[in-house]
Amino acid sequence: MISNALRKRKMGQVLKTLREKSYISRSALTHLTGISGSTICRIENGRANIQAYSFDRVCMFFEIYPEDLLDLSPEVISEIARKKRLNPYIIDGNADQNAGIMVVESQASFLKHTRIIELLVNEGHLNKFKRVSEIKQLILDNYQKSIPSSVISNALKSNKDIKCVQPAKKNYKLYKAVRIFKPKTCK
């Protein structure tokens, strides 16, 4: 038998994974569901005293039943997130259109920055360990785009093929490609 606290924590982790794999920020989810950001944070962290209404609204957004959250496999989570990436607007038809546009724009910018990192890897720029500031300068030199360091850092962390190390007694991290991306070919 699973305790109540453990069940809430597991459900919150699944919802957080769904949100992150859908490339939806917490603030965008706030606008789409009408629930405060702190409440969404408490749901994702598995904290107690969550109102059923709030929890149901988040589950409704992802089109899943709250009871089914404990039984979702990673494949099902990925499939739900993929569908939500394709159509992020759905929630009771009451969603603010501007919030939906904000979600699409945030998803597009995240994917664009992730794609730039993949291009740097393919071109061999990340064959050696580099700091985020060096990667930022590479992007500026090669693509004439100025991207904030925090966005670059998040794109690097989200990519499982990039290794991150932190030298001893240093306050920065170094990133290096572990595997070279191969472009998909049409058949």
In a domain, 15, yes or no: yes
Are 83 and 56 contained in the same domain?
Answer: yes
In a domain, 142, yes or no: yes
Residue 110's pLDDT is 65
Residue 187's pLDDT is 46
Rounded Cα gap, residues 95 and 46, in angstroms = 25
- Check which CATH number belongs to the domain holding 137 and give it: 1.10.10.10
In a domain, 103, yes or no: no
In a domain, 131, yes or no: yes
Could you say which of 61, 95, 129 is where a domain stops?
Answer: 95
Counted domains in the chain:
2
Could you say which of 54, 70, 95 is where a domain stops?
Answer: 95
pLDDT in tens, 7-25: 778 878 888 888 877 777 7
String of DSSP letters for the chain? ---HHHHHHHHHHHHHHHHHHTT--HHHHHHHH---HHHHHHHHHT-S---HHHHHHHHHHTT--GGGGGG--HHHHHHHHHHHHH-TT-STTT--HHHHHHHHHHHHHHHHHHHHHHHHHHTTTTSS-EEHHHHHHHHHHHH-----HHHHHHHHHH-TTEEEE--TT-S--EEEESS--------
In a domain, 146, yes or no: yes
Q: Which domain holds residue 113?
A: 108-177
Are 117 and 86 contained in the same domain?
Answer: no
Contact 72, 64 (CB under 8 A): yes
Contact 32, 22 (CB under 8 A): no
pLDDT in tens, 99-142: 555 565 666 666 677 777 777 777 777 788 888 888 888 888 87
Are 28 and 83 contained in the same domain?
Answer: yes
Are 91 and 112 contained in the same domain?
Answer: no
Residue 92's pLDDT is 42
Residue 109's pLDDT is 67
Could you say which of 95, 118, 134 is where a domain stops?
Answer: 95
pLDDT in tens, 49-98: 667 777 778 778 777 777 777 677 777 777 777 666 655 544 444 445 55
pLDDT higher than 80, residue 41: yes
Report which residue type is found at 64. I
